[in-house]
Protein backbone atom coordinates (compact mmCIF):
# COMPACT_ATOMS: atom_id res chain seq x y z
CA UNK A 1 0.00 0.00 0.00
CA UNK A 2 1.20 3.52 -0.76
CA UNK A 3 2.90 4.81 2.41
CA UNK A 4 1.47 8.29 1.88
CA UNK A 5 -2.04 6.82 2.09
CA UNK A 6 -1.15 5.05 5.32
CA UNK A 7 0.41 8.15 6.90
CA UNK A 8 -1.34 11.25 5.60
CA UNK A 9 1.30 13.50 7.18
CA UNK A 10 3.58 12.54 4.29
CA UNK A 11 0.95 13.65 1.81
CA UNK A 12 0.72 17.03 3.51
CA UNK A 13 4.48 17.67 3.66
CA UNK A 14 5.04 16.53 0.09
CA UNK A 15 2.23 18.78 -1.15
CA UNK A 16 4.45 21.79 -0.43
CA UNK A 17 5.72 22.60 -3.89
CA UNK A 18 8.45 24.77 -2.40
CA UNK A 19 10.52 21.72 -1.44
CA UNK A 20 14.13 22.39 -2.42
CA UNK A 21 15.86 19.11 -1.71
CA UNK A 22 13.83 15.94 -2.03
CA UNK A 23 13.66 14.42 1.45
CA UNK A 24 13.04 10.70 1.39
CA UNK A 25 10.14 9.22 3.30
CA UNK A 26 12.24 8.09 6.23
CA UNK A 27 13.73 11.54 6.72
CA UNK A 28 10.35 13.25 6.65
CA UNK A 29 8.95 10.80 9.16
CA UNK A 30 12.00 11.19 11.37
CA UNK A 31 11.43 14.95 11.54
CA UNK A 32 7.75 14.50 12.32
CA UNK A 33 8.21 11.69 14.83
CA UNK A 34 11.37 12.70 16.64
CA UNK A 35 11.52 16.49 16.67
CA UNK A 36 10.62 17.55 20.23
CA UNK A 37 7.90 20.20 20.25
CA UNK A 38 7.20 22.21 23.38
CA UNK A 39 4.00 24.07 24.26
CA UNK A 40 4.74 26.51 27.06
CA UNK A 41 1.94 28.31 28.89
CA UNK A 42 3.04 31.20 31.04
CA UNK A 43 2.11 31.42 34.70
CA UNK A 44 0.74 34.95 34.34
CA UNK A 45 -2.03 34.04 31.92
CA UNK A 46 -2.55 30.27 32.24
CA UNK A 47 -6.01 30.73 33.76
CA UNK A 48 -7.39 32.99 31.03
CA UNK A 49 -9.82 31.83 28.36
CA UNK A 50 -7.76 33.41 25.58
CA UNK A 51 -4.55 31.59 26.51
CA UNK A 52 -6.34 28.27 26.90
CA UNK A 53 -8.08 28.60 23.52
CA UNK A 54 -4.72 29.17 21.85
CA UNK A 55 -3.06 26.34 23.77
CA UNK A 56 -5.77 23.76 23.04
CA UNK A 57 -5.99 24.67 19.35
CA UNK A 58 -2.21 24.67 18.95
CA UNK A 59 -2.02 21.27 20.62
CA UNK A 60 -4.73 19.97 18.29
CA UNK A 61 -2.92 21.20 15.17
CA UNK A 62 0.57 20.17 16.26
CA UNK A 63 -0.70 16.70 17.11
CA UNK A 64 -1.81 16.22 13.51
CA UNK A 65 1.84 16.36 12.45
CA UNK A 66 4.30 15.86 15.27
CA UNK A 67 4.45 12.91 17.62
CA UNK A 68 6.61 14.02 20.57
CA UNK A 69 5.06 16.89 22.50
CA UNK A 70 6.18 18.45 25.77
CA UNK A 71 3.55 20.48 27.62
CA UNK A 72 4.56 23.03 30.23
CA UNK A 73 1.65 24.26 32.35
CA UNK A 74 1.81 26.04 35.71
CA UNK A 75 0.56 23.86 38.57
CA UNK A 76 -3.01 24.19 39.77
CA UNK A 77 -4.26 25.90 36.59
CA UNK A 78 -7.86 24.89 35.88
CA UNK A 79 -9.65 24.66 32.56
CA UNK A 80 -11.92 27.63 31.91
CA UNK A 81 -15.53 26.43 31.94
CA UNK A 82 -16.11 27.99 28.52
CA UNK A 83 -13.38 25.90 26.87
CA UNK A 84 -14.84 22.97 24.90
CA UNK A 85 -13.70 19.33 24.74
CA UNK A 86 -11.64 19.42 27.97
CA UNK A 87 -12.31 19.79 31.68
CA UNK A 88 -10.53 19.72 35.03
CA UNK A 89 -6.86 20.37 35.73
CA UNK A 90 -5.31 22.09 32.71
CA UNK A 91 -2.13 20.03 32.44
CA UNK A 92 -3.98 16.71 32.71
CA UNK A 93 -6.68 17.90 30.32
CA UNK A 94 -4.16 18.82 27.64
CA UNK A 95 -2.29 15.53 28.02
CA UNK A 96 -5.51 13.57 27.67
CA UNK A 97 -6.61 15.58 24.67
CA UNK A 98 -3.29 14.91 22.91
CA UNK A 99 -3.97 11.18 22.97
CA UNK A 100 -7.48 11.83 21.64
CA UNK A 101 -5.95 13.53 18.60
CA UNK A 102 -3.71 10.53 17.95
CA UNK A 103 -2.87 7.52 20.11
CA UNK A 104 0.62 7.63 18.57
CA UNK A 105 1.43 10.93 20.27
CA UNK A 106 3.92 10.79 23.12
CA UNK A 107 2.88 13.73 25.29
CA UNK A 108 4.65 14.61 28.51
CA UNK A 109 4.00 17.21 31.16
CA UNK A 110 7.34 18.79 32.05
CA UNK A 111 8.72 21.84 33.77
CA UNK A 112 10.95 22.59 30.78
CA UNK A 113 11.20 21.06 27.28
CA UNK A 114 14.40 19.17 26.45
CA UNK A 115 17.35 20.92 24.85
CA UNK A 116 16.89 21.41 21.12
CA UNK A 117 13.11 21.45 21.23
CA UNK A 118 11.15 23.82 19.04
CA UNK A 119 9.05 25.75 21.55
CA UNK A 120 5.72 27.48 21.07
CA UNK A 121 5.30 29.98 23.89
CA UNK A 122 1.86 31.21 24.84
CA UNK A 123 3.66 33.28 27.38
CA UNK A 124 5.61 36.47 27.96
CA UNK A 125 7.81 35.23 30.80
CA UNK A 126 10.61 33.66 28.77
CA UNK A 127 13.66 35.33 27.16
CA UNK A 128 13.32 35.93 23.46
CA UNK A 129 16.86 35.29 22.28
CA UNK A 130 16.38 31.64 21.32
CA UNK A 131 16.07 31.05 17.59
CA UNK A 132 13.91 27.97 18.20
CA UNK A 133 11.22 29.83 20.12
CA UNK A 134 7.90 31.02 18.69
CA UNK A 135 5.57 33.31 20.64
CA UNK A 136 1.87 33.78 20.06
CA UNK A 137 -1.26 35.08 21.77
CA UNK A 138 -4.67 36.39 20.89
CA UNK A 139 -7.37 38.56 22.42
CA UNK A 140 -10.66 39.67 20.94
CA UNK A 141 -10.23 39.95 17.17
CA UNK A 142 -6.44 40.36 17.39
CA UNK A 143 -3.77 37.67 16.93
CA UNK A 144 -0.07 38.19 17.59
CA UNK A 145 2.84 35.95 16.62
CA UNK A 146 6.60 36.39 16.35
CA UNK A 147 10.10 35.25 17.19
CA UNK A 148 10.18 37.57 20.20
CA UNK A 149 7.91 37.65 23.26
CA UNK A 150 4.57 39.26 22.52
CA UNK A 151 2.65 41.61 24.77
CA UNK A 152 0.14 39.64 26.81
CA UNK A 153 -1.26 42.59 28.69
CA UNK A 154 -4.59 42.05 26.91
CA UNK A 155 -4.67 38.28 27.46
CA UNK A 156 -7.57 38.61 29.87
CA UNK A 157 -9.58 40.86 27.61
CA UNK A 158 -11.86 40.08 24.69
CA UNK A 159 -14.86 38.98 26.76
CA UNK A 160 -14.96 35.43 25.46
CA UNK A 161 -14.26 36.21 21.80
CA UNK A 162 -12.15 33.24 20.62
CA UNK A 163 -11.37 34.51 17.11
CA UNK A 164 -8.01 36.17 17.83
CA UNK A 165 -6.78 33.30 20.04
CA UNK A 166 -7.79 30.72 17.40
CA UNK A 167 -5.90 32.56 14.66
CA UNK A 168 -2.89 33.03 16.93
CA UNK A 169 -2.70 29.26 17.38
CA UNK A 170 -2.82 28.60 13.63
CA UNK A 171 -0.14 31.21 12.90
CA UNK A 172 2.04 29.95 15.73
CA UNK A 173 1.86 26.35 14.54
CA UNK A 174 2.74 27.48 11.00
CA UNK A 175 5.88 29.12 12.39
CA UNK A 176 6.79 25.93 14.25
CA UNK A 177 6.50 24.02 10.98
CA UNK A 178 8.77 26.55 9.28
CA UNK A 179 11.42 26.06 11.94
CA UNK A 180 11.34 22.27 11.62
CA UNK A 181 11.38 22.13 7.82
CA UNK A 182 12.89 25.52 6.99
CA UNK A 183 16.14 24.04 5.69
CA UNK A 184 14.39 22.23 2.83
CA UNK A 185 11.81 24.83 1.84
CA UNK A 186 12.35 27.66 -0.58
CA UNK A 187 10.86 31.07 0.08
CA UNK A 188 10.28 30.66 3.81
CA UNK A 189 9.62 34.04 5.40
CA UNK A 190 9.70 33.87 9.20
CA UNK A 191 7.35 36.16 11.09
CA UNK A 192 9.54 38.26 13.33
CA UNK A 193 6.73 40.28 14.87
CA UNK A 194 3.20 40.52 13.52
CA UNK A 195 -0.27 41.31 14.73
CA UNK A 196 -3.36 40.62 12.63
CA UNK A 197 -6.93 41.79 13.10
CA UNK A 198 -9.59 39.36 11.91
CA UNK A 199 -12.08 42.23 12.09
CA UNK A 200 -10.33 44.69 9.78
CA UNK A 201 -7.70 42.42 8.13
CA UNK A 202 -5.19 45.03 9.23
CA UNK A 203 -1.62 43.90 9.82
CA UNK A 204 0.33 45.42 12.71
CA UNK A 205 -2.84 46.63 14.38
CA UNK A 206 -2.98 47.11 18.13
CA UNK A 207 -6.66 47.10 19.05
CA UNK A 208 -8.52 43.95 20.01
CA UNK A 209 -11.71 45.42 18.54
CA UNK A 210 -15.23 45.67 19.92
CA UNK A 211 -16.85 42.99 22.03
CA UNK A 212 -18.28 40.12 20.04
CA UNK A 213 -21.54 40.20 21.95
CA UNK A 214 -24.17 37.51 21.66
CA UNK A 215 -23.78 35.35 18.55
CA UNK A 216 -27.07 34.39 16.93
CA UNK A 217 -26.86 32.48 13.67
CA UNK A 218 -29.63 33.01 11.15
CA UNK A 219 -30.88 29.76 9.66
CA UNK A 220 -27.47 28.63 8.39
CA UNK A 221 -26.44 25.84 6.06
CA UNK A 222 -22.94 24.37 6.39
CA UNK A 223 -22.13 22.39 3.27
CA UNK A 224 -19.18 20.09 3.88
CA UNK A 225 -17.87 18.72 7.17
CA UNK A 226 -14.33 17.93 6.06
CA UNK A 227 -11.22 19.95 6.83
CA UNK A 228 -12.78 23.41 6.40
CA UNK A 229 -16.20 22.54 7.77
CA UNK A 230 -14.57 20.80 10.71
CA UNK A 231 -12.42 23.87 11.38
CA UNK A 232 -15.50 26.10 11.31
CA UNK A 233 -17.23 23.86 13.84
CA UNK A 234 -14.11 23.72 16.03
CA UNK A 235 -14.13 27.50 16.24
CA UNK A 236 -17.89 27.68 16.73
CA UNK A 237 -17.65 25.28 19.69
CA UNK A 238 -15.66 27.98 21.52
CA UNK A 239 -18.80 30.17 21.55
CA UNK A 240 -20.89 28.32 24.15
CA UNK A 241 -23.57 31.03 24.17
CA UNK A 242 -24.17 30.83 20.41
CA UNK A 243 -27.82 30.58 19.44
CA UNK A 244 -29.82 29.97 16.28
CA UNK A 245 -30.07 27.07 13.86
CA UNK A 246 -27.45 25.23 11.82
CA UNK A 247 -27.89 22.43 9.30
CA UNK A 248 -24.82 20.37 8.38
CA UNK A 249 -24.96 18.82 4.90
CA UNK A 250 -22.44 16.20 3.79
CA UNK A 251 -22.91 13.07 1.71
CA UNK A 252 -19.71 11.32 2.84
CA UNK A 253 -18.56 9.16 5.69
CA UNK A 254 -15.38 9.73 7.65
CA UNK A 255 -12.32 8.14 6.09
CA UNK A 256 -8.91 7.22 7.42
CA UNK A 257 -7.27 10.36 5.98
CA UNK A 258 -9.66 12.85 7.62
CA UNK A 259 -7.69 13.30 10.88
CA UNK A 260 -4.76 14.71 8.90
CA UNK A 261 -6.49 18.05 8.27
CA UNK A 262 -9.79 18.05 10.14
CA UNK A 263 -9.31 19.34 13.71
CA UNK A 264 -12.67 18.01 14.87
CA UNK A 265 -11.74 14.40 14.11
CA UNK A 266 -10.39 12.73 17.24
CA UNK A 267 -11.15 9.71 19.46
CA UNK A 268 -10.51 7.39 16.51
CA UNK A 269 -13.77 8.50 14.85
CA UNK A 270 -12.33 8.11 11.33
CA UNK A 271 -11.88 4.36 11.77
CA UNK A 272 -15.58 3.99 12.56
CA UNK A 273 -16.54 5.41 9.13
CA UNK A 274 -19.35 7.47 10.65
CA UNK A 275 -21.57 9.68 8.53
CA UNK A 276 -19.89 13.08 8.60
CA UNK A 277 -22.99 15.20 9.15
CA UNK A 278 -24.21 13.10 12.08
CA UNK A 279 -20.74 12.78 13.61
CA UNK A 280 -20.11 16.53 13.35
CA UNK A 281 -23.41 17.35 15.05
CA UNK A 282 -22.80 14.85 17.84
CA UNK A 283 -19.27 16.14 18.45
CA UNK A 284 -20.10 19.82 18.91
CA UNK A 285 -23.69 19.80 20.14
CA UNK A 286 -22.78 19.21 23.82
CA UNK A 287 -20.75 22.43 23.79
CA UNK A 288 -23.41 24.49 22.01
CA UNK A 289 -26.61 24.00 24.02
CA UNK A 290 -28.33 27.09 22.59
CA UNK A 291 -27.74 26.16 18.94
CA UNK A 292 -30.11 23.78 17.21
CA UNK A 293 -27.98 21.61 14.90
CA UNK A 294 -29.54 19.28 12.34
CA UNK A 295 -27.51 16.79 10.25
CA UNK A 296 -28.39 15.86 6.68
CA UNK A 297 -26.60 13.03 4.91
CA UNK A 298 -26.67 13.77 1.21
CA UNK A 299 -25.62 16.34 -1.37
CA UNK A 300 -26.70 19.96 -1.42
CA UNK A 301 -29.03 19.15 -4.32
CA UNK A 302 -30.65 16.34 -2.35
CA UNK A 303 -31.07 18.65 0.62
CA UNK A 304 -32.76 21.32 -1.51
CA UNK A 305 -35.05 18.68 -3.01
CA UNK A 306 -36.17 17.80 0.51
CA UNK A 307 -37.38 21.36 1.18
CA UNK A 308 -40.70 22.94 0.32
CA UNK A 309 -40.85 24.96 -2.92
CA UNK A 310 -40.93 28.25 -1.01
CA UNK A 311 -37.75 27.55 0.97
CA UNK A 312 -35.29 30.31 1.86
CA UNK A 313 -31.59 30.07 2.71
CA UNK A 314 -30.45 33.17 4.60
CA UNK A 315 -26.83 31.99 4.86
CA UNK A 316 -24.81 29.16 3.32
CA UNK A 317 -21.23 28.32 4.26
CA UNK A 318 -19.34 26.67 1.43
CA UNK A 319 -16.78 24.25 2.85
CA UNK A 320 -16.55 21.92 -0.14
CA UNK A 321 -13.63 20.87 -2.30
CA UNK A 322 -15.07 20.71 -5.80
CA UNK A 323 -16.22 23.23 -8.38
CA UNK A 324 -19.37 21.20 -8.99
CA UNK A 325 -20.40 21.45 -5.36
CA UNK A 326 -19.82 25.21 -5.35
CA UNK A 327 -21.98 25.49 -8.44
CA UNK A 328 -24.76 23.53 -6.72
CA UNK A 329 -24.54 25.77 -3.65
CA UNK A 330 -24.90 28.86 -5.81
CA UNK A 331 -27.78 27.24 -7.73
CA UNK A 332 -29.65 26.98 -4.43
CA UNK A 333 -29.73 30.81 -4.37
CA UNK A 334 -28.80 31.54 -0.75
CA UNK A 335 -29.17 35.17 0.26
CA UNK A 336 -25.53 35.16 1.40
CA UNK A 337 -22.63 32.77 0.92
CA UNK A 338 -19.38 32.51 2.83
CA UNK A 339 -16.83 30.44 0.95
CA UNK A 340 -13.45 29.12 2.07
CA UNK A 341 -10.79 26.95 0.48
CA UNK A 342 -7.21 25.98 1.23
CA UNK A 343 -4.11 24.80 -0.57
CA UNK A 344 -0.68 23.76 0.69
CA UNK A 345 0.35 27.36 1.41
CA UNK A 346 -2.75 29.38 0.56
CA UNK A 347 -6.12 30.16 2.06
CA UNK A 348 -9.02 31.83 0.30
CA UNK A 349 -12.14 33.38 1.79
CA UNK A 350 -14.87 35.03 -0.27
CA UNK A 351 -18.28 36.51 0.49
CA UNK A 352 -21.20 36.58 -1.93
CA UNK A 353 -24.46 38.50 -1.80
CA UNK A 354 -26.60 40.50 -4.22
CA UNK A 355 -26.88 37.66 -6.73
CA UNK A 356 -27.01 39.07 -10.25
CA UNK A 357 -24.97 42.15 -9.32
CA UNK A 358 -21.82 40.83 -7.69
CA UNK A 359 -19.70 37.85 -8.71
CA UNK A 360 -21.38 34.60 -7.75
CA UNK A 361 -19.59 31.70 -6.09
CA UNK A 362 -19.47 29.62 -9.25
CA UNK A 363 -18.11 32.56 -11.27
CA UNK A 364 -14.87 32.51 -9.26
CA UNK A 365 -14.12 28.93 -10.23
CA UNK A 366 -15.56 28.56 -13.72
CA UNK A 367 -12.24 29.44 -15.36
CA UNK A 368 -10.71 26.45 -13.61
CA UNK A 369 -13.31 24.18 -15.19
CA UNK A 370 -13.89 25.51 -18.72
CA UNK A 371 -10.99 25.54 -21.23
CA UNK A 372 -10.09 29.07 -22.24
CA UNK A 373 -10.45 28.13 -25.91
CA UNK A 374 -14.16 27.50 -25.35
CA UNK A 375 -14.87 30.93 -23.86
Shared domain for 94 and 124, answered yes or no, is: yes
Give CA–CA dist 138/122, Å, rounded. 9
In a domain, 89, yes or no: yes
In a domain, 62, yes or no: yes
User: Where among 131, 163, 197 does a domain terminate?
Assistant: 197
Q: What is the pLDDT of residue 27?
A: 83
Shared domain for 115 and 82, answered yes or no, is: yes
In a domain, 206, yes or no: no
Shared domain for 141 and 29, answered yes or no, is: yes
Residue 112: Cβ within 10 Å count: 11
Q: What is the pLDDT of residue 346?
A: 82
Residue 104: Cβ within 10 Å count: 10
Q: What is the pTM of this model?
A: 0.92
Please give the tally of structural domains in the chain: 2
Shared domain for 123 and 249, answered yes or no, is: no
Q: What is the pLDDT of residue 155?
A: 63
Shared domain for 178 and 229, answered yes or no, is: no
Long-range contacts of 360-368 (CB under 8 A, 24+ apart): 360/330, 361/318, 361/326, 361/327, 361/329, 361/330, 361/337, 362/323, 362/326, 362/327, 362/330, 362/331, 364/326, 364/339, 365/323, 365/326, 365/327, 366/323, 368/323
Shared domain for 231 and 313, answered yes or no, is: yes
User: Where among 197, 229, 259 does a domain terminate?
Assistant: 197
In a domain, 144, yes or no: yes
Shared domain for 253 and 355, answered yes or no, is: yes
Q: Report the residue count for the chain.
A: 375
What is the number of alpha carbons within 13 Å of residue 249 lying toward its C-beta? 21
What's the CATH number where 279 sits? Answer: 3.40.50.720
Q: What is the pLDDT of residue 189?
A: 81
In a domain, 357, yes or no: yes
In a domain, 246, yes or no: yes
Helix/strand/coil (H/E/C) assignment for every residue in 171-204: HHHHHHHHHHHHHHECCCCCCCEEEEECCCCCEC
Shared domain for 7 and 146, answered yes or no, is: yes
Q: Please list the pLDDT of the chain residue by residue as tens digits (375 residues).
A: 455 455 778 777 766 654 545 667 788 888 899 999 999 998 888 999 999 999 999 999 999 999 999 999 999 999 999 999 999 999 999 999 999 999 999 999 999 999 999 999 997 666 656 888 999 999 999 999 998 888 766 666 767 899 999 999 999 999 999 999 877 776 778 888 999 999 999 998 788 888 887 899 999 999 999 999 999 999 999 999 999 999 999 999 999 888 888 999 999 999 999 999 999 999 999 999 999 999 999 999 999 999 999 999 999 999 998 899 999 999 999 999 999 998 777 889 999 998 878 888 988 887 665 443 333
In a domain, 202, yes or no: no
Shared domain for 246 and 169, answered yes or no, is: no
Q: What is the pLDDT of residue 371?
A: 45
User: Where among 133, 164, 197 does a domain terminate?
Assistant: 197
Shared domain for 155 and 251, answered yes or no, is: no
Q: What is the pLDDT of residue 265?
A: 95
Shared domain for 177 and 72, answered yes or no, is: yes
Q: What is the pLDDT of residue 232?
A: 97
Domain that holds residue 30: 3-197
Shared domain for 220 and 369, answered yes or no, is: yes
In a domain, 208, yes or no: no
Amino acid sequence: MNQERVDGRLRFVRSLHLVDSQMDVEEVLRCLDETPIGIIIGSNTAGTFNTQVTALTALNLLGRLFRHLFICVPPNARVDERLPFVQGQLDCALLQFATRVSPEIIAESVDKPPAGAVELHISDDCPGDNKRHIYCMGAGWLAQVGRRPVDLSSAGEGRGNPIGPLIAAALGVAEVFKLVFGDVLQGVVPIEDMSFSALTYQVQGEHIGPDLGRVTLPPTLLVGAGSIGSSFLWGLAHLPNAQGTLTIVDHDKLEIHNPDRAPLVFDGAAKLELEKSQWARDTVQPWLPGLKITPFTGTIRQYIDSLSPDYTLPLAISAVDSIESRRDIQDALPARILNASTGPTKIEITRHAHFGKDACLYCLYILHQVPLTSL
